[in-house]
Amino acid sequence: MENPSWIEKLRQRWNVKNVWQVVVILVVFACTGFTVLFLKKPLLNWLAGEEGNSTLATVLYYIFILPLYNILLLGYGFLFGQFAFFWAFEKRFMERFFSVFRRHK
């Protein structure tokens, strides 16, 4: 028996219908990453100043860029017809993110 390819493993893990859907999802992640890459420097220069403090820039990055990434991911997901997948993906991400701040009984 042949081992499934990496793309087939992603298809199964993400529970999507076909390989083309996996490709579109990967394109959405790539577009979102490149958009954040292009927006990061101008946004942080505007918020922290041209020669901004690296600590301040790091804090501002987490406050502004990470939520922006999630919004862009949903936007690109919508444009590429994969909004339902990315909405579920974001809900899982937010559950994990905020579970860190919940008290465990």
- The Cα 25–Cα 59 span in angstroms is 29
Task: Give residue-wise pLDDT tens across range 54-87.
Answer: 787 788 888 888 889 999 999 999 999 999 999 9
Q: If you search the block for the tokens 């406050």, which residue do you land on?
A: 63
Asked whether the predicted pLDDT for residue 105 surpasses 70, the reply is no
Domain boundaries, the chain: 18-99
Residue range 29-50: average pLDDT?
Answer: 88
Asked whether the predicted pLDDT for residue 48 surpasses 90, the reply is no
Asked whether the predicted pLDDT for residue 104 surpasses 80, the reply is no
What pLDDT is stored for residue 4 in this prediction?
Answer: 85
25: which 2 tokens?
């999802």
**Average model confidence (pLDDT) across the chain:** 89
Answering whether pTM is above 0.85, one says no
Asked whether the predicted pLDDT for residue 52 surpasses 80, the reply is no
On the 0-12 / 13-18 / 19+ scale of CB atoms within 10 A, 57 is middle
Amino acid identity at 67: P
Task: Give residue-wise pLDDT tens across range 3-16.
Answer: 889 999 999 999 99
Neighbour count for residue 39 (Cβ, 10 Å): 15
Half-sphere exposure at residue 93, Cβ-oriented, CA atoms within 13 angstroms: 13
What pLDDT is stored for residue 22 in this prediction?
Answer: 97
